[in-house]
Structure 1
Amino acid sequence: MQDQMTAFSIDPNTALLIVIAAIATYFTRIGGYVLLSSMKRIPPRLESALNAVPAAVLTTLVAQPFIYGGWDIKIAMAVALIVGLRFPGLTLLFAGWAAVMAARYGMGLGL
């Protein structure tokens, strides 16, 4: 009888990859906690580096779509930036979504 893949079957290699990634993620997260909790005082350089992480992550999430995305993405990001300077996060998300929908369906960009 031939093995057939169904919608609920998974490749063993994919399952192994998921398990290894989960273990690696767990150990990197717990490792940082154990390392920082073992210190009585965080050195100023390490504290500065840790404070820079959110900006670095945000930059990596935003830069690539802005550079390589279409005009619909660029317009949505510009609108979200402007709205984000004045209003809270949920308003920013709605404005960005509305801008990308207007650019795609109203102006025909990015279709």
Structure 2
Amino acid sequence: MSTIFWIIVAGAVLTYLTRAGGHLVLSRFERIHPRVEAGLNAVPAAVLTTLVAPAAMEGGPAEIAALAVGAMISLAGGGMMPMFLSATALLILLRHLLG
């Protein structure tokens, strides 16, 4: 068997264990402390920041335009799905047109 196969299997198993472990730990408590809840609520924004920051700092015109459109739609209250879909569509289009 290929080494790549085993790397994928190990990644899948470790991902499952971290998700299941977190669920098992949190399910043991009747109430979650407000600080823990605030930290868990901040995770999606932190993950999004790690994806967006490199594109904002080192991206070309296509990436900057897609980020700007996504930000405008987000600030207008358009929702997460329209923001992601429109920014992604614009990014794909501009990368295709600009090379």
Q: How many residues align?
A: 97
Give structure 2 stretches of 5+ with no counterpart. none
Of 6, 17, 21, 2:7 maps to 17
Superposition RMSD on alpha carbons, in Å?
2.1
Of 68, 72, 75, 1:78 maps to 68
- In structure 2, what residue type is equivalent to 1:53? V
Q: CA separation in 2, counterparts of 1:103 and 1:14?
A: 30
TM-score, reference length from structure 1? 0.73
- Quick check: which has more Rg, 1 or 2? 1
User: Residues 48 and 94 of structure 1: is their aligned pair in 2 closer, same or farther, counting only changes over 3 Å?
Assistant: closer
**Structure with the bigger percentage of helix:** 2
Q: CA separation in 1, counterparts of 2:8 and 2:36?
A: 31
1:1-111 pair list within 5 angstroms: 12-86=2-76, 87-96=78-87, 97-98=89-90, 101-102=93-94, 105=97, 108=98, 111=99
Deviation >3 Å, runs of 4+: 88-91
Tell me the equivalent position of 1:8: none
Q: CA separation in 2, counterparts of 1:32 and 1:103?
A: 39
TM-score, reference length from structure 2? 0.81
Percent identity of paired positions between Structure 1 and Structure 2: 37
